[in-house]
């Protein structure tokens, strides 16, 4: 048998020496160090590619006119800009070490302003630099870090108002941890915003320092733990917005567990803490909530909810508990029943005020296939009992979200609201809006209506946060019984396809017992609404008539809405929309009407030329005054061929009101060439 032997160490050394002699390398050299085959790779310190450049020439002429109190003021502005933009991507040493994303804009501006007050006329020249630069360390690793710096400048058109010039400067760092088990993102930045009215009516400046973090923990299937934390420090001042300065902490922790068949059951726990210190409305709010959903079978489901709220304000300290249980059962494929019971316990510790409420509600939903379409019916019955102690001072509602609808109005359906306490901000809670400049308030015994002002800083369809105070109310017990019915017939076949008549009826009866004659009056009402909808092939029409016979504030309203979208081809389309609403407050003899008409036509003339024409008309009328009429037109022209673009924009806006008449005209012409 032949046995294998490992080569001896002496043999290995001899072979190495022979190889060294065979290749022309001395034994002495071989013993000095390792033999290097090939050449060491050299890395470039910086490597850039995908270069892009563009040149833009831009000019704007604007004329603003205002008539008030017999005085007429005319201002004219001319602005020219020349902009060179460069951007590129690259890396340092290697693409997986540091990646670079750079964009820079070099701008020259010549500005000329002529007003009726010659002392304010001016001529200026300035050079500006805007940029967006970022560098990411280890972009493909588990811990990428991005440093960034941004500066931008833009114009913001306000509907029926003068344009605003915005300059935003931001520096920050973003950190990420990539993990299947516990991913995380952290951001730290400082932002400066400067906003100027182009008519010279004032400005607004905001400084913001922020830290934010977001992360999740995913231990195993069915479990999810998530957290968010944000710290903001704001300092804002100026003429266009109310000045304010505050710090805000916002922390949110969520735990979710899904279980059961097909994971249709779930439990969700949430802890949310908000603290705002300093500023006009300091507050601390803690919210704890538990939500459980159980899917017992295909036809039976139950839901349970508990919420704890603690809210500390400068003049109020509130604690509330809310609990409810809901059972939903599909009796048949077309009939669904729902039963809900719940209660609320509210305590205001500063004023020693407390309130207890219990409610029970049942609904039936019925859907049936009928000749030519479907029939839907809904029935609801609700009973509520409330027992509250003496409320000697106001009760505060904080940051209630509301949206300005097509009529430019939001309604606060509560009795005894103190209108002077109204406090409205944007959805982020940062920008404070002003009564008279941005919105007006109209009071009724059972509600308050907030209406936006044409040319103000609030837009149609915008969601805002509303805080307000409810006035004093003596101790009382209140029982409320209400029911409602809804019927709808939708045609889905025949020449009536798309037509849907409906009717909704609601009735409420309330009894209130109190030892004081100053208790709020009972709210009894019947509410009948008749509606007709038509939706077919891009056309939507809605008409409603509402008659609310109320013991507090009866009214009737009529609303017409229409929307039409027609695409003549892939190059041409037209969009028309209109809305009219008239409200008659029968007990006060007042009438308010709002009419809005808008249209936009987009046309691709050929492969190079595109035109867009828009019109907005809004008419507000009130029998008690404050009438206004706003008209705005836009014309956009864009011609492009290859890497060359020529564009123009013409805008005319005019608002005539009982207080003043204003108009804004502007012409923008530009040329852009990409390289």
pLDDT band at 28 (very low <50, low <70, confident <90, very high): very low
For residues 42-56, average pLDDT = 81
pLDDT at 188: 96
For residues 17-24, average pLDDT = 39
* Average pLDDT along the chain: 86
Give Cβ neighbours of residue 289 (< 8 Å, ≥ 6 apart).
268, 269, 270, 272, 305, 306, 307, 308
- On whether residue 451 sits in a domain, the answer given is yes
From the number of C-beta atoms within 10 Å of its C-beta (0-12, 13-18, 19+), residue 199 rates as buried
147 and 271 in a single domain? The answer is: yes
pLDDT at 531: 97
**Sheet arrangement for strand 409-412:** 409-412, 447-452, 439-444
561-565: long-range contacts, CB 8 A cutoff, minimum separation 24: 561/406, 563/539, 564/538, 564/539, 564/540, 565/538
Q: Which of 7-21, 48-62, 417-431 has the lowest mean pLDDT?
A: 7-21
CA distance 532 to 561: 11
Range ranked top by mean pLDDT from 45-49, 105-109, 553-557:
553-557
CA distance 446 to 582: 19
CA distance 619 to 634: 18
Question: At 662, phi and psi to the nearest 5?
Answer: -130, 150
pLDDT digits (tens, 9 = 90+) for 632-674: 999 999 999 999 999 999 999 998 888 788 888 999 999 999 9
- On whether residue 312 sits in a domain, the answer given is no
CA distance 522 to 535: 40
CA distance 470 to 421: 9
pLDDT digits (tens, 9 = 90+) for 555-579: 999 999 999 999 888 889 999 999 9
For residues 310-336, average pLDDT = 89
* For residue 199, pLDDT beyond 80: no
What letters, b where the CB count within 10 A reaches 16 and e where it falls short, cover 130-158?
Answer: bbbebbbeebeeeebbbebebbebeeebb
pLDDT digits (tens, 9 = 90+) for 391-450: 777 678 888 888 887 778 888 888 888 888 888 888 877 778 888 878 888 888 888 889
Query: Which of the pair, 399 or 529, is modelled with greater confidence?
Result: 529
- On whether residue 251 sits in a domain, the answer given is yes
Query: Which of the pair, 499 or 429, is modelled with greater confidence?
Result: 499
**Domain C-terminal end among 452, 470, 488:** 470
283 pairs with which residues across the strands? 276, 313
- On whether residue 662 sits in a domain, the answer given is no
Query: Which of the pair, 609 or 40, is modelled with greater confidence?
Result: 609
CA distance 575 to 564: 6
pLDDT at 423: 87
User: What DSSP assignment string belongs to 161-193?
Assistant: S--EEEEEEEEEEEEEE--SSS-EEEEEEEEEE
- On whether residue 98 sits in a domain, the answer given is no
pLDDT digits (tens, 9 = 90+) for 440-494: 888 888 888 898 887 777 887 888 989 888 888 888 999 999 999 999 999 999 8
- Largest separation between any pair of C-alpha atoms in the chain: 124
* For residue 35, pLDDT beyond 80: no
Best CA proximity match to 563, nearest among 550, 552, 579, 548: 579
**Domain C-terminal end among 453, 470, 487:** 470
CA distance 598 to 268: 44
pLDDT at 570: 83
**Pair 431, 425: CB distance under 8 Å:** yes
pLDDT at 2: 41
For residues 319-330, average pLDDT = 95
152 and 24 in a single domain? The answer is: no
From the number of C-beta atoms within 10 Å of its C-beta (0-12, 13-18, 19+), residue 579 rates as buried
Query: Which of the pair, 71 or 198, is modelled with greater confidence?
Result: 71
- On whether residue 460 sits in a domain, the answer given is yes
For residues 515-541, average pLDDT = 91
pLDDT band at 160 (very low <50, low <70, confident <90, very high): low
pLDDT at 374: 95
Q: How many structural domains are present in the chain?
A: 3
* For residue 503, pLDDT beyond 60: yes
Residue listed under structure tokens 């009402």: 525
Domain that includes residue 419, residue range: 398-470
Query: Which of the pair, 396 or 293, is modelled with greater confidence?
Result: 293
pLDDT digits (tens, 9 = 90+) for 346-386: 998 777 788 999 999 999 999 999 999 999 999 999 999 99
Query: Which of the pair, 149 or 473, is modelled with greater confidence?
Result: 149
Tokens, residue 103: 């964009």
* For residue 240, pLDDT beyond 70: no
pLDDT band at 18 (very low <50, low <70, confident <90, very high): very low
* For residue 20, pLDDT beyond 60: no
For residues 19-41, average pLDDT = 45
For residues 106-122, average pLDDT = 75
- On whether residue 547 sits in a domain, the answer given is no
User: What DSSP assignment string belongs to 408-445?
Assistant: SEEEE--SSEEEEEEEEEETTS-SBP-BTTTEEEEEET
- On whether residue 85 sits in a domain, the answer given is no
274 and 146 in a single domain? The answer is: yes
User: What DSSP assignment string belongs to 85-119?
Assistant: EEEEEEEESSTTTEEEEEEEEEEEEEEEEEESSGG
Tokens, residue 423: 């406090």
């Amino acid at each position: 048998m032949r046995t294998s032997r490992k080569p001896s160490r002496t043999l290995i050394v001899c072979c190495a020496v022979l190889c060294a002699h065979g290749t022309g390398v001395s034994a002495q050299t071989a013993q000095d160090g390792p033999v290097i085959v090939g050449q060491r790779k050299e890395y470039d310190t910086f490597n850039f590619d995908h270069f892009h450049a563009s040149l833009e020439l831009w000019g704007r002429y604007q004329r603003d006119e205002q008539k008030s109190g017999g005085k007429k003021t005319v201002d004219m502005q001319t602005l020219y800009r020349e902009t060179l933009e460069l951007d590129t991507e690259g890396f340092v040493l290697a693409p997986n070490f540091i990646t670079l994303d750079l964009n820079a804009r070099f701008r020259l501006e010549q500005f000329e302003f002529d007003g009726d007050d010659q002392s304010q006329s001016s001529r200026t020249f300035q050079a500006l630099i805007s940029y967006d630069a970022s560098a990411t360390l280890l972009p493909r690793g588990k811990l990428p870090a991005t440093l960034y710096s941004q500066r931008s400048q833009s114009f913001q058109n306000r509907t029926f108002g003068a344009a605003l010039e915005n300059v935003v400067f931001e520096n920050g760092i973003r950190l990420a941890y990539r993990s299947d088990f516990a991913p995380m993102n952290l951001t730290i930045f400082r932002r400066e915003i400067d906003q100027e009215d182009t008519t010279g009516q004032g400005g607004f400046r905001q400084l913001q320092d922020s830290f934010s973090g977001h992360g999740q923990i995913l231990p195993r299937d069915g479990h999810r733990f998530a957290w968010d934390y944000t710290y903001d420090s704001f300092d804002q001042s100026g003429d266009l917005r109310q000045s304010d300065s505050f710090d805000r902490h916002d922390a949110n922790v969520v735990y979710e567990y899904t279980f059961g068949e097909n994971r249709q059951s779930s439990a969700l726990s949430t802890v949310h803490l908000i603290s705002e210190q300093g500023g006009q409305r300091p507050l601390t709010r803690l919210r704890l909530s538990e939500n459980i959903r159980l899917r017992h079978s295909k036809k039976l489901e139950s839901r349970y909810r508990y919420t704890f709220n603690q809210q500390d304000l400068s003049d109020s300290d509130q604690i509330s508990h809310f609990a409810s249980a809901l059972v939903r059962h599909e009796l048949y494929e077309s009939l669904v029943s729902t039963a809900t019971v719940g209660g609320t316990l509210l305590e205001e510790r500063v004023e020693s005020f407390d309130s207890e409420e219990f409610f029970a509600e049942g609904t039936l939903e019925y859907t049936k296939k009928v000749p030519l379409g479907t029939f839907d019916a809904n029935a609801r019955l609700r009973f509520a009992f409330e027992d509250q102690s003496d409320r000697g001072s106001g009760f505060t509602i904080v940051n209630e979200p509301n949206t300005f609808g097509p009529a430019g109005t939001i309604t606060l359906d509560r009795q005894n609201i103190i209108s002077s306490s109204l406090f409205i901000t944007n959805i982020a809670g940062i920008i404070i809006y002003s009564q008279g400049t941005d919105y007006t308030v109209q009071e009724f015994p059972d509600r308050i209506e907030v209406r936006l002002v044409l040319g103000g800083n609030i837009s149609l369809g915008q969601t805002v946060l509303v805080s307000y105070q409810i006035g004093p109310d003596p101790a009382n017990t209140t029982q409320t019984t209400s029911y409602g019915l809804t019927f709808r017939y939708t045609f889905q076949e025949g020449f009536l396809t798309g037509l849907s008549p409906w009717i909704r009826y609601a009735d409420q009866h309330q009894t209130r017992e109190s030892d004081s004659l100053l208790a709020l009056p009972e709210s009894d009402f019947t509410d009948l609404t008749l509606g007709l909808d038509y939706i077919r092939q891009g056309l939507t029409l809605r008409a409603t008539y509402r008659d609310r016979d109320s013991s507090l504030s009866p009214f009737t309203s009529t609303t017409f809405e229409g929307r039409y979208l027609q695409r003549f081809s892939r190059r041409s389309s037209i969009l028309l929309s209109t809305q009219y609403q008239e409200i008659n407050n029968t007990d006060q003899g007042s009438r308010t009407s709002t009419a809005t008409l808008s249209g936009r036509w987009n046309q691709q003339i050929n492969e190079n030329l595109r035109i867009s024409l828009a019109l907005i008309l809004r008419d507000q009328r009130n029998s008690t005054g404050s009438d206004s009429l706003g008209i705005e037109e836009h014309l956009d022209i864009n011609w492009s061929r290859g890497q060359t673009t020529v564009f123009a924009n013409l805008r005319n806006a005019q608002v005539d009101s009982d207080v003043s008449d204003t108009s804004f005209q502007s012409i923008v012409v530009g040329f852009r060439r990409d390289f």
